[in-house]
């Protein structure tokens, strides 16, 4: 496809810079202070992503920004803020931030490439409530890396050292289903942690390094000239969006905040924009195991039944979870 991943050594990461400046990244050796949700905001994450992207490419507002910008939840207190942009290689860069006074902070930020590029999808899903944080940070593969070794080699081999820096500090967050796992990469950060300033600093450094890594891949990406491969890329992205739009765990939170109708519109038209336009296949076309006799989608979280309690990749990025089923 005309793309060669840079073989240069991994640059000094933000985490390494933190270490050089004396940050304590071993919370088990230090009493962790309580960090109020109100004292922490994901806005600097969004600001970093936008500024860093502007340095690399010509970023302009997406037409989606006219409809999706901000709204108040039904409680009259919680605010939802949306941003949407596009660029020559970026079909959509969008973020959803939710701030609920002192009780909750949410960030859902994704970058979806144009179908002419088989780039991974940048994904940051962060949820902070009271003193608990739930985190997914990844360069989601467009093609399942467990069955497409060439894709894994192309995009993740040289990123493994970066991933290991953070996955060793932010350990695996517990059970995750087989179905979800096929949309993750070997460098995925899936973790849960109690709030502390140290942990939030580490998360921010991970976000910065992962985002800069994605931008490096974008810079090097060459446009696919084979029309049939572009079709494959489009369908792969549509499959990803179909899964996320149907199974995203944030649906219940959005439903509670803004009601079923608004939540569905936000999910399908904004968060996973393209699910109704990039392809004509349905969720059940891609995932027939969820089919019910009445033609509806089975609402169970997992139909395969296998889950992974520990990290199923080794330090070289090889899958060690045995058969995915």
Please report, for the domain that includes residue 90, its CATH number.
3.40.1500.20
Q: Is 193 contained in some domain?
A: yes
Q: Is 117 contained in some domain?
A: yes
Q: Is 261 contained in some domain?
A: no
* Rounded Cα distance, 122 and 113, in Å: 9
Q: How many domains does the chain have?
A: 1
Look up the domain containing 128 and give its range: 42-225
The string over 197-216, giving b where at least 16 C-beta atoms fall within 10 Å of a residue's C-beta and e elsewhere, is ebbbbbbbbbbbbbbbbbbb
Q: Is 124 contained in some domain?
A: yes
Q: Is 237 contained in some domain?
A: no
Q: Supply the pLDDT for residue 78.
A: 93
Q: Supply the pLDDT for residue 206.
A: 98
Tens digit of pLDDT per residue, the chain (325 long)?
Answer: 333 233 333 444 545 443 343 323 233 333 334 445 556 789 999 999 999 999 999 999 999 999 999 999 999 989 999 999 999 999 999 999 998 867 899 999 999 999 999 999 999 999 999 889 999 999 999 999 989 999 999 999 999 999 999 999 999 999 888 888 889 999 999 999 999 999 999 999 999 999 999 999 999 999 999 999 999 999 999 999 999 999 988 999 999 999 999 999 999 999 999 999 999 999 999 999 999 999 999 887 665 667 889 999 999 999 997 765 5
In this prediction the pTM is 0.88
Q: Would you say 126 and 42 are in contact if contact means Cβ atoms under 8 Å apart?
A: yes
Q: Supply the pLDDT for residue 40.
A: 75
Q: Supply the pLDDT for residue 177.
A: 83
Measured at the CA of 16, the angle between CA 20 and CA 93, to 5 degrees, comes to 135
């Amino acid at each position: 496809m005309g793309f060669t991943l840079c073989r240069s050594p991994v640059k000094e990461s933000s985490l390494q810079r933190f270490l050089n400046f004396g940050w304590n990244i071993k919370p088990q050796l230090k009493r962790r202070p309580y960090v109020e949700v109100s004292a922490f905001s994901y806005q600097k994450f969004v600001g970093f992503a936008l500024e860093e992207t502007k340095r690399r490419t010509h970023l302009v507002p997406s037409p989606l920004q006219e409809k999706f910008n901000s709204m108040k939840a039904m409680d009259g207190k919680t605010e939802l803020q949306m941003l949407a942009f596009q660029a020559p290689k970026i079909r959509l860069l969008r973020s959803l931030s939710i701030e609920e006074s002192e009780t909750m902070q949410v960030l859902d930020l994704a970058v979806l490439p144009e179908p002419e590029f088989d780039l991974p999808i940048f994904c940051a899903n962060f949820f902070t409530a009271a003193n608990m944080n739930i985190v997914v940070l990844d360069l989601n593969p467009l093609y399942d890396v467990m069955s497409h070794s060439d894709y894994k080699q192309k995009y993740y081999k040289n990123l493994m050292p970066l991933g290991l820096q953070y996955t060793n500090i932010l350990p695996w967050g517990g059970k995750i289903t087989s179905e979800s796992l096929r949309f993750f990469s070997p460098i995925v950060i899936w973790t849960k942690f109690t709030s502390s300033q140290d942990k939030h600093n580490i998360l921010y450094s991970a976000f910065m390094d992962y985002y800069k890594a994605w931008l490096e891949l974008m810079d090097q990406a060459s446009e696919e000239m084979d029309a049939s491969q572009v079709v494959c890329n489009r369908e792969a992205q549509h499959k990803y969006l179909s899964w996320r739009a149907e199974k995203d765990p944030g649906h219940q939170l959005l439903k509670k905040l803004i009601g079923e109708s608004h939540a569905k519109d936000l999910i399908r038209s904004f968060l996973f924009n393209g699910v109704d336009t990039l392809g004509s296949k349905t969720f059940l076309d891609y995932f027939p195991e969820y089919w019910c006799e009445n033609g509806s989608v089975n609402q169970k979280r997992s139909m395969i039944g296998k889950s992974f309690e520990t990290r199923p990749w080794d330090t070289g990025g090889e899958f060690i979870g045995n058969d995915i089923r």
